[in-house]
Amino acid sequence: MKSLSFLLLALLLILFSCSGEQPADQTNIPADLKALNERIAKDSLNAEFYYDRSQYYFKSQDAVNAVMDIRKAIQLDSAKTKYHLAMGDYHFAMNKTGVTIQCLRKAAVLEPSNNEILLKLGELFYIVMKYDSAVFYVNRSLALEETNPKAHFQKGMILKESGDTTNALISFQTAVDQDQNYYDAFIQLGMLHERMGNNISLGYFDNAVRILPNSTEARYFKAMYFQSRGKSKEAGDIYDEILKLDSAHVNSIYNKGFLLLEVEKNAGKALRWFDRAYQLDPHYADAIYMRGLCHEKTGDNQLAAKDYNAALILQPEHPQALEGLKRLKVK
């Protein structure tokens, strides 16, 4: 779940670049850019004008010119925090995280009590997997504002990734104590407790469904909770709910087939579900393997072998597919 605010910037990849000089012919330039150029021409020492034009370039996916303009803005006025933040954003879009860290640190020096900057630094260090530094900046944020569910959640994610499950649980719990509608924190609590085999995980997934009633993610975790405890009826009902919300939810389709095969021992019906999962996701090695297993159980060894080989193409050394081929040779 590193889908945090920085990941949104990563979508702004460079599609093209051009030189920093403005073309002499202004007739084909968009009106917005032309106006920005004219402002700079009239007052070339105004840092804000270069900042504005850098934002225009960045939104136009021209990070090269964006960087050139924001660099000029900083040369003219290095005391503006937003200029350093913009420089960090532009370099993050170019996957230059080292420069981004330097820019954010400069911003933090200018505004040491700015929680947003501290959390951005924590987030960035989390992304580059420098967890000690990530926790350091989140803790600085929490020292300024203890009631901050976002910061507690972020700390929980860092601790979880670093292997400290106990303290991760504490941070996620604090997040939901401070914000009873914190969907992602409830999901994380449910996942961690489920991993530990704790039945209270269901309550967290129920809360997640309460917050987002149409969430297929939260429902899927609930279904897996029941399935792992042998409650196939409850699990199957939830898969049906999910498929009403999203008829192409591949994992639910696969698990419907799994329950039909393993619990109801109905290979014929199960085969159709595995085939559907594979048609939706042609890279789903387990789905094509399970379709092969259904063929084997219904006596069509030729199709079974074909599916096992297809699974091995998608996932070389697929253990079950290899075992399946061995069984067919014996037969």
94-105 pLDDT, tens digit each: 999 999 999 999
Q: What Cα–Cα distance (Å) separates residue 95 from each residue in 5, 12, 14, 98?
A: 15, 10, 10, 9
With CA atoms as reference, report the closest residue to 20 among 62, 83, 51: 62
What integer is the mean pLDDT of 308-324?
97
Distance CA 149, CA 177 (A): 8
Distance CA 29, CA 170 (A): 55
Reply yes or no on whether the pLDDT at 16 is more than 50: no
Q: What is the pLDDT of residues 173-186, one digit of tens each?
A: 999 999 999 999 99
CB within 8 Å of 91: residues ≥ 6 apart: 67, 97, 99, 100, 103
What integer is the mean pLDDT of 293-321?
97
User: How many C-beta atoms surround the C-beta of residue 119 within 10 A?
Assistant: 22
Q: Which pLDDT score is estimated for 18?
A: 36
Q: Which pLDDT score is estimated for 247?
A: 98
Q: Which pLDDT score is estimated for 3?
A: 46
Q: Are residues 6 and 120 in contact, defined by beta-carbon separation less than 8 angstroms?
A: yes
Distance CA 201, CA 190 (A): 4
With CA atoms as reference, report the closest residue to 185 among 208, 215, 203: 208
Distance CA 51, CA 82 (A): 9
User: How many C-beta atoms surround the C-beta of residue 319 within 10 A?
Assistant: 9
Reply yes or no on whether the pLDDT at 159 is more than 50: yes
Q: Which pLDDT score is estimated for 60?
A: 94
Reported confidence tier of residue 260, pLDDT bands at 50, 70, 90: very high
CB within 8 Å of 257: residues ≥ 6 apart: 270, 271, 272, 273, 274, 276, 277, 287, 290, 294
Q: Helices (H) and strands (E) in the chain — how many of each?
A: 19, 0
Reply yes or no on whether the pLDDT at 11 is more than 50: no
Tokens of 8: 């949104």
Q: Which pLDDT score is estimated for 64?
A: 92
Give the total residue count for the chain. 331
Distance CA 123, CA 145 (A): 17
Distance CA 18, CA 20 (A): 7
Q: Which pLDDT score is estimated for 25?
A: 52
Reported confidence tier of residue 29, pLDDT bands at 50, 70, 90: confident
Reply yes or no on whether the pLDDT at 267 is more than 60: yes
Residue 164 DSSP symbol: -
With CA atoms as reference, report the closest residue to 75 among 97, 111, 55, 45: 45
How many C-alpha atoms does 247 have within 13 Å on its Cβ side? 0
Q: What is the pLDDT of residues 215-242, one digit of tens each?
A: 999 999 999 999 999 999 999 999 999 9
Residue 11 DSSP symbol: T
3-state secondary structure of 7: helix
Q: Which pLDDT score is estimated for 28?
A: 79
pTM of structure: 0.83
What integer is the mean pLDDT of 138-158?
97
